[in-house]
Structure 1
Amino acid sequence: MKAVIATEQGSADVLRLTDLPKPTPGPGEVLVRIRATSVNPIDTKVRKAKLPMTPALFPAVLGTDFAGTVEAVGPGVTRFSAQDDVYGFAGGFRGPNGDLPGALADYAVVDADLIARKPGNVDFRSAAALPLTATTAWMALFDKVRITPASRVLITGGAGGVGYPAVQLAHAAGAHVVAVTRSAESAEAAIFAGAGACVDLAVTTAQEIVEDHTDGQGFDVIFDTVGGASLDAAFQMIKPTGDVVTVVGAASHNLAPLYLKGANLHMVLVLVPIMFGTARPQQGEILEKIALLVEEGKLTPRIDPQRFALEDAADAHRKLEAGDAKGKLIIDI
């Protein structure tokens, strides 16, 4: 089969098209004919840096998200059959029992607990855009905290890979959503996704945002997808006893503003089931819920219009790292 391997750690130049043996599914696994995969920031990070989730050995097949068709199932798999269209998490990371090959290949063996049936109303490209970003947003808004129609929710990076589906999910739950964006184009996208208003922390202070959008009370929930100064601002804008959730927690921050409000800080790392082998069935269940929302028209991915083939994987990585993506970058396989 054709596959793209990272020959070693480094720039996008280390990604090379090659031939690899077609894998065979083991117990609890499914062999999938990959139809599309998407590029996430974590895919570029593990290619460059030795992180806890970076594959232990190179060459390595990277690529987290996928959508495709089941070709065969391994012993013990009863939820899926050959010819089922599925989507979910492949790998591209270090697992508890060795590296899990990713989705940049014609075929991939995946854990049956980390996938679900593809939403029936979207194509493989759209489905491949969803697993990491939408599951992260779901975990932040419905596992770590509980939002209701009475909740005032602020989402930073509201037009980004995780922020965009988060706006849609919070809106679908009936919450009043304010999105932090940095351009007119991003604000338009966030409003389309369901934000009631957009703000820019570069031109508006945290206190002004609190006064204008919460009557000075602070937000019930803030989901930070940006980190850095945005997370520090979140500590200023959360209400007393409120909840801040972040996906960018590997940094130093002054927690005094949270402490003085009795507020809570939650971390979300969607790769925990892959890295440690815990809660994998729950991740598949979240994918099933996301698929239902997609079929109900409540969740739609934002996809960059440029198309990439498997041999163009390095170009897709370069575009994401340059900050030029206008939505998820999809690689057709």
Structure 2
Amino acid sequence: MKKPALLVAFGFASLTAFSQSNSDILYFLDGQKEVKIKEVGLTSIKYTYPNEETVYTISKHQVEKIVFGSGREEVFESPIKEVTGLSDFKKVFITYNPEDIAGLQSKGHLFSKATGVTTLSSINEVNNRALNKLKMEASMIGANVVFVGNTFQRGNQYGGENQAGNSTQTSFSGMGYSTNEINTEAVKSLIESRTFHHYQTHKLNRNSWSPDRIIATKYGPDRKPLMFKLDSVIERDGELFIKTKEIPSKTKELKVIHADDEKLVLMERNEKVTYNYFLITDQNNFFKNLTY
């Protein structure tokens, strides 16, 4: 009487193992998860977690590929790229679809405006300038995705005898988001183990035509770039902030928006101006190429 029971139990265990092994793997831009794909639509993917019934929806833009339990792979070309600062602003992804930002970390409000120089200014040129300024500000606050909530556009308005004309104008308002989560422990370890050099300061004023890039390098008596250690690292709500006396900032704490073995990008902002302080580490190629 025991053999049939054992066979049933073994069969059930085998069926469960087979079911689990046939789970699908969803590769996000920042990691992977074991799931069960329910639907692959034109713009989104629906899935559940193993042994659960709740259906989740995610934009295809946040997914690199799916490896199905059958072994088949489906690869997606995501327009969302890594952005490490102002030099990457052209990579910032602009979207009007709320599905594209589902589950992403908010980085803050964004606004840009551009106005034509004369009433003969091209509408497309002004639109592109406003859009580029939006991307620039996004890149400087650590966002690689922008969800545009409001757009305003005014065409050229020619004046008359008693009325002045107005040139074309475009403005964008939205929120910046990031697909990249900072590994706080790894960044803390990097900051504590490295010395830094303040290489550049990037400044973007919303009322300005374009950002300023200022060389900040200072040299010591030995004619070598000045290096320094950062005073302290503060973790708050999953984000990191730096305190240092070596950077002439207006705030006491500077937010970390990017960190790797060769560079560290810090940010401060107010209602109109965003600053990035571009620091390079003692492992940067800049120092390897120096000759004295």
Which bracket does the TM-score occupy, shorter chain normalised?
under 0.3
TM-score by length of 2: 0.25
Name whichever structure is richer in helix by fraction.
1
TM-score by length of 1: 0.23
Name whichever structure is richer in strand by fraction.
2
Work out which structure has the larger RCO, using CA pairs closer than 8 Å and 6 or more positions apart in sequence.
1
Larger radius of gyration between Structure 1 and Structure 2: 2
